[in-house]
Amino acid sequence: MAKILILDDDQDYCEELSFALGREGHDVLCATTAQGAIATGSLFRPDVLVTDWMLRDRIDGLAVAEVLEILNSALQVVLITGFASTDLRCNAKYQEVFAFIEKPFQLGQIRRTVQEALNQPKPAQDCVPIGVLEVDSTGEIIFANRPARKLLSLDQGARPSTISSVLRLVGDVPFAAAEQRWIGAVSSDGLTKMNLRCRRYNDVDSSLVLLLAQENASYMYDPLVYHLLGLHPVGPHALTVEGHLLIIDSFEQTRRVAAELLREYNCVCHTAQTHAEGWRLFEKDPEIRHVILNFEMSRTKPIDFIRKLKKARPDIRIIGTSSYGDRAEYVELGVVDFLPNPWSDEDLIQLVGAKPSTAGGM
């Protein structure tokens, strides 16, 4: 019997998938939010994650998979979406997603795909260096992922008895302090200094403990760690943008860099290589409120395409980007937000997070 976690923000849809997979004899749990899936999955530790890509709480299904792979690098992922694009397929392939399924689909297809994923186990591998323990209220260690076993010099097959037997806290600091902030710790042999933070679950008798070697302290501010701890990003990752974004650019690297950066800030972001693909995604997702459009991506100026976007949604915000400075004709069309090429991360984040400029046009 395998453990399956289903993530979709449609409760009825989740229950339908759960019933179909449960009939196959699997142990199935469901979540309707990304944070709920991370909280459930960090304790359930599924063999297969079946997840929608776009979710309401601004963390996409690939990001959830990335978090849960910290606990189980052999996790098989089945990604389902109604917003298939060339870039999303490439991202899924890069993240070693087992299967990419477009909506709508038949339940039989999901059942077959999950069984195929179980029949082709993915080898466990070294992932990001974030150690994770599950510890019960008595201090007994229930689970340790691969990085945690490395940090604590534990044999792969051995199960340590208590957390106090494998590490000690630095200074006169109570363990409970780690629920509010990172605290110092050292392995029981005194050789490995680390930082420790924990997340206590209210509905179960255990906590999640995160360990970072001192040389990996920068991961304290990684979105993956915030998601594992159930925290909202703060500081540089606290950007909130109303609605979804669409990036249309013929340069693959530009799309990828921009989308990855915006994803770190919890922005839901579509990407498209052509106007045609961008229009298809724009029509399918009514939540797209911002379009980043490269003016130089075709031989002809995209004036007609801009008019088409604004006719469909008069309040759409278009951010133009190009390496030339003549923007007067676009301003006349209402495109007053502009990102000169080449742009920096700070330029992109500042402009996307700013209130839209206003101008006449159309």
- Asked whether the beta carbons of 110 and 20 are under 8 A apart, the reply is yes
| Residue 325: per-residue pLDDT | 63
Share of the chain above pLDDT 70, in %: 93
Q: What is the 3-state secondary structure (H, E, C) of the chain?
A: CCEEEEECCCHHHHHHHHHHHHCCCCEEEEECCHHHHHHHHHHHCCCEEEEECCCCCCCCHHHHHHHHHHHCCCCEEEEEECCCCHHHHHHHHHCCCCEEEECCCCHHHHHHHHHHHHHCCCCCCCCCCCEEEEEECCCEEEEECHHHHHHCCCCCCCCCCEHHHCEEECCCCCHHHHHCCCEEEEECCCCCEEEEEEEECCCCCEEEEEEEEHHHHHHHHCHHHHHHHCCCCCHHHCCCCCCEEEEECCCHHHHHHHHHHHHHCCCCEEEECCHHHHHHHHHHCCCEEEEEEECCCCCCCCHHHHHHHHHHCCCCEEEEEECCCCCHHHHHCCCCEEEECCCCHHHHHHHHHCCCCCCCCC
Domains of the chain: 3-119 (3.40.50.2300), 131-235 (3.30.450.20), 239-353 (3.40.50.2300)
Residue 350 in tokens: 């500042």
Least confidently predicted of 116-120, 169-173, 280-284 = 169-173
| Residue 328: per-residue pLDDT | 76
| Residue 323: per-residue pLDDT | 80
141-150, 171-180, 277-286: which has the highest mean pLDDT? 277-286
Assess whether pLDDT exceeds 70 at residue 249. Answer: yes
| Residue 265: per-residue pLDDT | 82
Q: Name the pLDDT band for 233 (thresholds 50, 70, 90).
A: low
- Asked whether the beta carbons of 227 and 55 are under 8 A apart, the reply is no
Q: For residue 355, what are the β-bridge partners?
A: none
Q: Name the pLDDT band for 326 (thresholds 50, 70, 90).
A: low
User: ∠ at Cα 104 (244, 12), nearest 5°?
Assistant: 80
| Residue 66: per-residue pLDDT | 95
| Residue 322: per-residue pLDDT | 86
Q: For residue 292, what are the β-bridge partners?
A: 247, 319
Q: Name the pLDDT band for 356 (thresholds 50, 70, 90).
A: low
Q: Is the dihedral of CA 306, 309, 313, 318 positive or negative?
A: negative
| Residue 93: per-residue pLDDT | 94
| 131-140 average pLDDT score | 94
Q: For residue 222, what are the β-bridge partners?
A: none
| Residue 296: per-residue pLDDT | 84
Q: What is the pTM of this model?
A: 0.88
